[in-house]
Amino acid sequence: MSRLFTVALWAALAAAVLFLLLPVVALFLRVPPDELVAQLGSERARDALRVSLTTSLVAHALIIGFGTPAAYLLATRTFRGRALVVSILELPLVLPPAVAGIGLLAAFGRSGLLGDELGALGLTIPFTQLAVVLAVCFVASPFYVRAAIAAFEAIDPRLLDASRTLGADGSRTFRRVALPLAAGGLGAGSTLAFARGLGEFGATIMFAGSLPGLTQTAPLAIYDSLDEDFDVALALGAVFVLFSILILLAAKLTPSWTRSSSGSPFPFARSRST
Amino acid sequence: MDVFAASSLRDVLPDVDDAPRYTFAGSDELAAQIRDGAPVDLFLSASRAPVQELREARLVEAPVVFASNRLVVVVPAGDPAGVGSFEGLRRPGLKLVLGGEGVPIGDYAREALAAADFDAALDNVVSLEQDVKGVLGKVALDEADAGIVYATDVAAAGSGVVALEVPDEFQPEVRYYAAVVADGDREHAMELLERLTGKAGAAALRRAGFLPVPR
């Protein structure tokens, strides 16, 4: 009986692995390697990768710059409405990207909520790289913020107290004690958010449009190439697979995770019960 | 029966026959799906190239032209950017949205702009959309100043947008092609095709603003 159970477990695992691996393998089988390299040299593919990389890097800097202090505050202080604030920060996780796109248009579009104010500053956001950056920030930031809250929460509060009693002020404690201790978790959240941002599609196509060399990111180029340059679509897809494997490996090799091998590499924020 | 049809036929086809299951999208995208083996019986394309490709691969029977259309410039209601006319598309700094490469509405629009020698208008393009819907949406939301779509799309779009004429001399030949898909339900496909090219179809197409095929 228990033998049958074990077989069932292995069968389920095999089915899951096969199902997830097959599309990835098929992608590489359909483009010969030399063709893949040739397609990557095409202007279309290079433009798309360049747009993707620049916008993702800028968005990532914003996510880390705002997300880290925000997460530290949420992890180390209790205040009324904290749970609500955390929920707001997590909302984009459950929002369909197309809804995010409409929302961004309704807020920052030319005829949106802030349209007149932005217009007075001479800013029109839709159809610009700034729009791509905002779409990526909106969709990817929760992945970082959740991980960052969890990482800061995992620090033994006595260490932070000790730092303060030894004379370090709040800012110094944050920089010299909290940040180094949370580095592993922050790195994990950061890679996950970066990967999610690179793959952003729905909010971008609605908010930023799709213009090669300006706002057409790699996922938009894949979709756009499907009908005519199927090889470009496959080549870009293959690059994404390779890149994603690199990201996963980088995440697996982050030292802090060696502490517990059974847990998910991406810790999520806990609700604060103490 | 399953019919793949160009987005611009969305409103008129159910009037011709509401029995088939219709899928509407950019003709080039639909052709790509048929190439990949989508189970469909009749293909209605907004331009020649997608059908032609399928024909060469022997995936469809000989195509038939069944309607034609005109291009218009579409602007948000009230024309806030003051485009005014087809010539207005040349004004520097205008935000113009077109269909992408290979998307019929995009290729037709570039044909019209090339015929008019409006290189400046091409510099105004801020986004290349996947189909008519994408172009209309960006204009109706007042995020783009202008777009180029089919005359029949404007009636369907409602009050959010207004059409400006594209002069006759720059109009490309917009032709709709019907092709029976090989290995499909040929009998029913032919039936719909006959209805589409017959009196009832012509009347419905005319009501929706499509033009008869010039002889």
Contact residues on chain A for B31, CB-CB shorter than 8 A: 227
pLDDT band at A260; cut points 50, 70, 90: very low
Of B28, B97, B128, which has the smallest distance from its Cβ to A228's Cβ? Answer: B28
State the total domains in chain A.
1
Of A105, A215, A228, which has the smallest distance from its Cβ to B141's Cβ? Answer: A105
- Predicted confidence (pLDDT) per residue in B80-133, tens digit: 999 999 999 999 999 999 999 888 899 999 999 999 999 889 999 999 998 888
Contact, B180 vs B190, CB < 8 A? yes
Tokens of A32: 């010969």
What CA–CA distance (Å, rounded) separates B158 from B145? Answer: 17
User: How far, CA to CA in Å, does B201 sit from each of B38, B42, B152, B194, B205?
Assistant: 26, 15, 15, 8, 6
CATH number at residue A149: 1.10.3720.10
pLDDT of residue B183: 86
Of A205, A208, A227, which has the smallest distance from its Cβ to B29's Cβ? Answer: A227
Task: Evaluate whether ipTM surpasses 0.90.
Answer: no
pLDDT band at A73; cut points 50, 70, 90: very high
Tell which residue, B112, B159, B160, has the closest CA to residue B139.
B160
Is A139 a residue whose pLDDT tops 90?
yes
Enclosing domain of residue A202: 52-217
Contact residues on chain B for A230, CB-CB shorter than 8 A: 32
pLDDT above 90 as % of chain A: 54
Burial per residue of B5-42, b for 16 or more beta-carbon CB atoms within 10 angstroms, e otherwise: bbbbbbebbeebbeebebebbbbbbbbbbbeeeeebbb
List of residues 6+ apart from A64 with CB closer than 8 A: A144, A190
Neighbours of B183 (CB within 10 A): 11
CATH, domain B71-170, list 3.40.190.10, 3.40.430.10, 3.40.50.720, 3.50.50.60: 3.40.190.10
3-class SS of residue B207: helix
Q: Does B57 touch chain A (CB under 8 A)?
A: no
Residue of chain B whose Cα is closest to the Cα of A204? B127
pLDDT of residue B105: 92
Tell which residue, B113, B159, B156, B161, has the closest CA to residue B138.
B161
Residue of chain B whose Cα is closest to the Cα of A125? B143
Burial per residue of A161-192, b for 16 or more beta-carbon CB atoms within 10 angstroms, e otherwise: eebeeeebeeeebbeebbbebbebbbbbbbbb
Of A126, A211, A223, which has the smallest distance from its Cβ to B143's Cβ? Answer: A126
Q: How many helices (H) and strands (E) does chain B have?
A: 9, 10
Residue of chain B whose Cα is closest to the Cα of A224? B130
User: How far, CA to CA in Å, does A12 sit from each of A8, A9, A16, A18?
Assistant: 6, 5, 6, 10
Contact residues on chain B for A108, CB-CB shorter than 8 A: none
pLDDT band at A256; cut points 50, 70, 90: low
- CATH fold of the domain at B2-68+175-207: D-Maltodextrin-Binding Protein; domain 2 (3.40.190)
In a domain, A203, yes or no: yes
| d(CA A52, nearest CA chain B) in Å | 16
- Predicted confidence (pLDDT) per residue in A114-138, tens digit: 988 998 998 889 999 999 999 999 9
Contact residues on chain B for A110, CB-CB shorter than 8 A: 142-143
Side-chain-side CA neighbours of A128 within 13 Å: the count stands at 12
Beta strands in chain B (DSSP E): 2-6, 21-25, 42-45, 64-69, 71-76, 96-99, 125-129, 146-150, 161-165, 174-180
| d(CA A112, nearest CA chain B) in Å | 9
Q: Does B32 touch chain A (CB under 8 A)?
A: yes
pLDDT of residue A255: 57
Contact residues on chain B for A105, CB-CB shorter than 8 A: 141, 143
Contact A230 B142 (CB under 8 A): no
pLDDT of residue A244: 81
Q: Does B11 touch chain A (CB under 8 A)?
A: no
Residue intervals in chain B for CATH 3.40.190.10: 2-68+175-207, 71-170
- Predicted confidence (pLDDT) per residue in A27-72, tens digit: 888 877 887 788 778 888 889 989 999 999 999 999 999 999 999 9
Dmax over Cα atoms in chain A, in whole Å? 74
Contact, B71 vs B109, CB < 8 A? yes
β-bridge partners, B211: B68
Contact A230 B32 (CB under 8 A): yes
- Predicted confidence (pLDDT) per residue in B179-193, tens digit: 999 988 889 999 999
Q: Does A110 touch chain B (CB under 8 A)?
A: yes
Q: Does B33 touch chain A (CB under 8 A)?
A: no
Residue of chain B whose Cα is closest to the Cα of A127? B126
| d(CA A182, nearest CA chain B) in Å | 42
User: Torsion angle, CA of A13/A14/A16/A17, rounded to 10 degrees?
Assistant: 110
- Residue with the two structure tokens 């393009």: B125
In a domain, A181, yes or no: yes
Q: What is the pTM of this model?
A: 0.81
Contact B143 A227 (CB under 8 A): no
List of residues 6+ apart from B99 with CB closer than 8 A: B26, B105, B106, B107, B109, B128, B129, B130, B131, B132, B134, B135, B148
Of A111, A124, A210, which has the smallest distance from its Cβ to B127's Cβ? Answer: A210
Contact, B153 vs A235, CB < 8 A? no
Contact B129 A111 (CB under 8 A): no
In a domain, A74, yes or no: yes
Q: What's the angle, vertex CA B208, arms to CA B5 and CA B29, rounded to 5? A: 20
Tokens of B4: 């793949």
In a domain, A228, yes or no: no
What CA–CA distance (Å, rounded) separates B150 from B157? Answer: 11
Tokens of A206: 């609605």
Contact, A189 vs A63, CB < 8 A? no
Q: Does B102 touch chain A (CB under 8 A)?
A: yes
In a domain, A246, yes or no: no
Q: Does B125 touch chain A (CB under 8 A)?
A: yes
Tokens of A63: 């996510």
pLDDT above 70 as % of chain B: 100
Residues 198-257 of A with CB under 8 A from B: 205, 208-212, 215-216, 223-224, 226-228, 230
Continuous segment of H or E residues that includes residue A175:
none
In a domain, A99, yes or no: yes
What CA–CA distance (Å, rounded) separates A262 from B9? Answer: 55
Mutate to test the interface with B, among A227, A231, A232 (most CBs of B within 10 A): A227
- Predicted confidence (pLDDT) per residue in B46-88, tens digit: 999 999 999 999 999 999 999 999 999 999 999 999 999 999 9
Contact B143 A109 (CB under 8 A): yes
Q: Does A129 touch chain B (CB under 8 A)?
A: no
- Predicted confidence (pLDDT) per residue in A86-111, tens digit: 999 999 999 998 899 999 999 999 88
